[in-house]
Amino acid sequence: MLKNDEIRIRDPFILPVASEQTYYLFGTTDDNVWEGTATGFDVYTSKDLTNWDGPYPAYRPYKNFWADRHFWAPEVYFYQGRYYMFASFKSEDRCRGTQVLVADKPVGPFTLLTDDPVTPKDWECLDGTLYIDELDNPWMIFCHEWLQIEDGTICAIPLSSCLSKASGEPVTLFSASNAKWTRGDKNYVTDGPYLYKNSQGVLLMLWSSIGDNGYAIGISRSTTGSILGPWDHDETPLFGENGGHGMLFRSFQDELLLTIHSPNRSPNERPVLFSVKEESGTLVLGEQR
């Protein structure tokens, strides 16, 4: 068994599976997260969010897979009877992109749904996340990377019902510099979007950038309830110092929880959990678990 402070992971994503009363922890798990040949994605399992079994291999690339580096930020969703992973990949001669994988069990093994990413092939993209709109149409929300466009953006692209391809053109929702809490010269980061509809039906988005005290998580909200916005932004971050790439989930005791990685320095990243409350139309951070 491992404790949270013994697991090195970036971009943590926790999938609760109620039928098993088990939590599955995914994330960027390669030791060589920034350089060198990537290995794949591992998964950990827990009954209590404190003691973890694993790691177990959730995905390993086949021999001629197009990407060989930067295997980042896997997110796993149960959709139409199967488990779908959204993850980002990169090679020297191809743009970073988010691709969809599939498995029959949450532990995997995951295999590629198609041979290529869903994100535009000539865009440097990362951190795709799944959103199902009010008409049950799937979307991928992702980042168009600041490395290519300087002021990073959050974008949305409609997906086919089988999640295997885009069914329309990407739409830019907002730029990182639109939020007052982000900091940059001409380079503004967008990372890790995650969608959450609160108890009043307001559509919120968590996303990460650089704030006054380093890597941070902010909150934005759609003024129309639609994924296409327009989007307003909280003036101060939800989490403001040396941690980010967050997502929300409910425990088996129906407690709303946030998981992030912190600190944001390799190789010291660890999964950190906080309780979260809805308050005055936004989210308020509670105690660390």
Mean pLDDT, range 261-289, rounded to an integer = 95
* Residue 280: band (very low, low, confident or very high) from pLDDT cuts 50, 70, 90: confident
For residue 194, list its beta bridge partners.
Answer: 206
pLDDT at 64: 92
Mean pLDDT, range 218-242, rounded to an integer = 97
pLDDT at 281: 85
Mean pLDDT, range 95-124, rounded to an integer = 97
pLDDT at 76: 98
Q: Positive or negative CA dihedral for 128, 130, 133, 136?
A: positive
Mean pLDDT, range 36-58, rounded to an integer = 97
CA distance 155 to 152: 10
CA distance 88 to 93: 15
* Residue 19: band (very low, low, confident or very high) from pLDDT cuts 50, 70, 90: very high
pLDDT at 178: 98
pLDDT at 38 over 90: yes
Architecture of domain 4-288: 5 Propeller (2.115)
pLDDT at 43 over 90: yes
Domains of the chain, by residue range, sit at 4-288
In contact, 190 and 144? CB cutoff 8 Å: yes
pLDDT at 72: 98
